[in-house]
Structures are given as structure tokens and as C-alpha cells.
Amino acid sequence: MCIKSKQQCWSVDRTEVIRSSISPVFSKVFTVDYYFEEVQRLRFELHDISSNHNGLKEADFQGAMECTLGQIVSQRKLSKALLKQGNTAGKSSITVTAEELSGNDDYVELAFSAKKLDDKDFFSKSDPFLEIFRVNDDGTASLVHRTETIMNNLSPVWKSFKVSLNTLCSGHHERELKCTVWDWDSNGKHDFIGEFQTTFKEMKAAMDGKQIQWECINPKYQVKKKNYRNSGMVILTLCKIIKMHSFLDYIMGGCQIQFTVAIDFTASNGDPRNSCSLHYIHPYQPNEYLKALIAVGEICQDYDSDKMFPAFGFGAQIPPDFKVSHDFAVNFDEDNPECAGIQGVVEAYQNCLPKIQLYGPTNIAPIIQKVADSASEEMHTKEAMEYFILLILTDGVITDMADTREAIVHASHLPMSVIIVGIGSADFSDMQMLDGDDGILRSPKGEPVLRDIVQFVPFRNFKHASPAALAKSVLAEVPNQVVDYYNGKGIKPKCLSNFESSRAFSP
């Protein structure tokens, strides 16, 4: 069997050959880089190779299966029929299982104290602080952490601190760590007290509640003083590994991405019957609204098992009484605003255009609050089962900025992210405030966002690029936003063994 990447149409790797078996289980593991923000299309081909084979050219093609990497990881185990020439399905099927390679994203919490340190001051006691360095492969040392200074104390107890294992030891538990104790001086010329070497492997002994201690040695004193023993003792009182779960831990544990679309139907878009309108439906070329919707939706749909997506509109007068609404269902079914697949959203959008009157103003706070209500229900379950992504497509600067800021600050406490794509040529400079990249977004009352959950991009920046470039730009931050939310709440992924991985799969 071989696996191919559809984007470049190149062969990634091949399994071993299993002889005389109609139900082979291959041991070969394929390692593939995973990117949530990209559609990574894969093709698995199965070939029957005879004993005197000369490669795949002389092998019998048994069938192929095409999918995306997102489909595999979202289900953890994906089974599909093998298609023969002409895309006809036979009796054979293939099952692909995904597993994330473990990284070094965990954190460790450490706490140090010392006793009987050398006194370096004449009129008072030493003011000690501790520095920890990682010794790199080239022999250089990188500062990992510097404790606070404890004034006038030869037996200091420093505050505990957290550091990633990547920063501490590059993930290698036996990497040398150099620890140095100094006596702080206000002029910056700190006095050297002593040093010692250790490894994280040695530190881990303190995880069982034990205390580990090292002699703090001053090499100059060791040479000059005959009866020199040490310059004090440094004690590790706490060593605790904090597991940092990854985005794939949550996805493969059963977390679903709930994708919702909100579309701007204000009058500034222009009459949809006019070819100059941003809502004009060209028979051969999708408008910018559709391009953005499809580009982002194509990614998110792989992480939702039922492929049903709510779609809302705002800023239009809607039937039957033609009152302005800022959160109406595009399919006009307020009880069930969901559309079947991204194509269903496209069709609902196209069908509603002749039935509504574009109006205004451009208020997006109501739709953010609507999705936030659903996310709030999920938050109360205290489980990592649903994370909400709201895609807002708008052609102009919003008119309810104060309410929108309030809604975003509220939503930052929920399992939710907001993506805003600016359609058309309007001046979107005020929208950058919502993104939070240039500073912390605050509500009108001054409350800051708990997390940065908004990503804004103007579509015109990608007008001449591929749809994949737009999706990559707006979705790249989502995995970290998901992880930040659940880790911040102390919510672990659901146990994989408790998660039914054989969910119904919608192609």
C-alpha cells in the first residue's frame, strides 16, 4: 500500500508487503505534518504485488481511498470503501488510524530553597537569588529562569515557578543544567556565592515528595581553602509535571468544531441584481462572500460529524413583515437554522437574496451573542465536547462597536472563536481594534478580554491568492485558542477509550 499527497500529487511512503493475506494489517507508520488551517488531501492506494514483482508498474491495482487528514484525526479511526477504476466501490475497505506523536509541550513546576549560604555582605546578610541555565549542544548556556531576590537571608525560600520542558531541557531529561547562586547588589555587580550541576532526570526524584539537595560550590574557595566544604546547600522542594494537552488531544478525544456563518445583508453591498453588487451571483464566478465562506468552511467541516451548519444573516428587512433583523436564519427556519454541508449554506444564501431587502445598520453584536448563548451551554458541561467558531462576513465598518466589544469580552470566557472577513474595498482600519494584535481589547467598561479570540482580515488582501491562503490566515490561531481555553479551565480531553471513534462519516 502507498500513500500520496493530493496537493502535490507525490508519493509520501509505502507500507511493507504482506504475503498471502486478504485482510492485511500493516505495521508501517506514516509520519505526516498536520496543519488544522489547511485542507491536506490524501490518497491511499492498495496494490497486489506478485512474488517476482518489479515495482508498482507491474502490480495489480486493488483500489484507492481519498480523504483529508482532518477527517482522519477528527474521527481517530476512519474506514471507507476502496474505489476501483471508474470510482466503483467493491467489497474491500480500508481503515486508517491516527495518533499524535508526543511532543514536549508539558510544563514543570519547580520550587527551590537554600540553607547556610555564604554571607557576602559586611553590614547585613546576603541577598540571594538563583539562576538556572540550560547547557546547549554547542556548549553555550541559555538562561531558563531567574528567581526573585530574597533580601537579608542566608536560608531563602524562593517562590515556585513554571517552565516548559522545551525551555528547561529541550525535552531531553539528561541534558546538563547549570545552577548559580548570587548575592544581589544594587549596583548590578552581584557577588558569586556558588554553583552546581544537575539534570531534570535527577530533579524528577522530588516528584515523590522527597527533597533533593546539592552542595553549592565556589570553585575558587575549593582551590584556596583547605577545609572548604561548600558555600551552602540548595534544596529542590517541589517538582511537578503539568500536562499540557494539544489541539489534537482534544479533537481526537471527541471535541467537535461547531461552525456558524453570519452574512452581511446591509444596503451598502449594492443591489444583488446589479453586477457591481458584492452579492451579485455570477453564473460562472463566485462572489467574495462565497469564496470566503467556502475557503473557511471547507476546513471546519472535517471536524463536525453531522456536517450541519447554522447560517444567519444581519442588516436586512426580512419577510413576511420586512422588519430589520440582525440574526435571522438564512434558510428562514428560525427553529432549525442549520444547513446540510457547506453546499447547503451556499444554496440557502443564494435562495434568500431575492426574498429580502438589503437595509442596515451593520450590527454584529446580536449574532455574537446568539452563538455565545450556545457556547455558554457547552461551558457548563465542563467537558471538551464542542468548540464554536463564528465566521462573520461583512462589507463595512460595524455601527455597534461598543456592544460588539462587550459581546467579544463576554465570549472570551467561552469555548468560542470569532473570525471576521472584510468583503469589498471599505476602510476596515477600525476593525483592527477587535483583533487584539495591536493591544488588549476592552469592553466599554474597561474589562479586558480573557483570551484573544478574534481574527480579522480584509478579503482584498487575498483577492489574487488561492482560497487556501485566506483559510490559512484566518484559521491558523484556532488550535491555540482551543488549547488555551480548555487548558485555562483545567478541562482535560475526554478519554479516547470512552469516545466512540466509529461515528457515522459524511463524505
| Cα-Cα end-to-end distance for the chain | 22
Neighbouring-strand partners of residue 108: 163, 241
For the stretch 52-90, pLDDT in tens is 655 666 788 889 999 999 999 998 889 999 998 888 887
Question: DSSP class of residue 353?
Answer: G
- Chain centroid to CA 366: how far? 26
Helix residue ranges, H only, 5-161? 69-75
Structural contact between residues 400 and 440, judged by C-beta atoms closer than 8 angstroms = no
Q: Could you tell me what percentage of the chain is helix, strand and coil, using 3-state DSSP and rounding each to the nearest 5? A: 25, 30, 45
Residue 49's pLDDT is 82
pLDDT for 503: 35
Tell me whether residue 345 is exposed, middle or buried, using C-beta atoms within 10 angstroms of its C-beta: 0 to 12, 13 to 18, 19 or more: buried
Tens of pLDDT, residue by residue over 393-422, are 999 888 999 999 999 999 999 999 999 999
CB of 205 within 8 A of CB of 237?
no
Reported as a single tens digit per residue, the pLDDT across 2-60 is: 655 555 557 778 888 888 888 998 888 888 888 898 889 999 999 888 766 556 667 88
In which element (H, E) is residue 212 found? strand 212-215
pLDDT digits (tens, 9 = 90+) for 204-249: 988 877 899 999 999 999 999 989 999 999 999 999 988 888 899 8
- Look at the block and give the residue holding cell 471535541: 255
Return the pLDDT at 479: 93
Over residues 172-202, the pLDDT tens digits come to: 899 999 999 999 998 888 999 999 999 999 9
Length, in residues, of the chain: 507
- Check residue 120 and give its pLDDT: 83
> Where is 168: in which H helix or E strand?
helix 165-169
Which three three-digit cell numbers place residue 99?
Answer: 495518533
DSSP string over 36-56? TTS--EEEEEEEE--TT--SG
- Residue 334: the pLDDT is 94
Other beta carbons less than 10 A from residue 428's beta carbon: 22
Residue 426: pLDDT over 90: no
Which residues touch 138 (CB under 8 Å, ≥6 apart)? none
Chain segment 271-329, per-residue pLDDT in tens: 999 999 999 999 889 999 999 999 999 999 999 989 999 999 999 999 999 999 999 99
* Cα 244-245-248 angle, rounded to 5 deg: 150
Predicted confidence (pLDDT) at residue 121 exceeds the cutoff of 80: no
Q: How far apart are CA 423 and CA 292, in angstroms?
A: 9
pLDDT at 501: 37
pLDDT for res 340? 96
Helix (H) or strand (E) run with residue 313 in it: strand 308-314
Distance CA 130, CA 110 (A): 12
* Residue 505 pLDDT level (bands cut at 50, 70, 90): very low
The answer, yes or no, to whether residue 500 has pLDDT greater than 50, is no
Confidence of residue 94 (pLDDT cuts 50, 70, 90): very high
Tens digit of each residue's pLDDT (9 = 90 or more) over 428-469: 887 878 876 667 889 999 999 999 999 999 999 998 888 889
Q: Is the dihedral of CA 392, 395, 397, 398 positive or negative?
A: negative
Supply the pLDDT for residue 109. 92
Cα–Cα distance for residue pair 41/37, rounded to 1 Å: 13
Model pLDDT, residue 255: 94
* pLDDT given at position 2: 60
> Which residue do the cell numbers 513554571 mark?
162
pTM: 0.74
User: Taking Cα atoms as reference points, which of 451, 75, 489, 108 lies closest to residue 248?
Assistant: 75
Residue 433 near residue 260 (C-beta atoms within 8 A): no
pLDDT of residue 1: 55
Q: What is the pLDDT at residue 498?
A: 45
Spatial CA neighbour of 18 closest among 48, 62, 59: 48
pLDDT-derived band at 494 (thresholds 50, 70, 90) equals confident
CA distance 106 to 292: 36
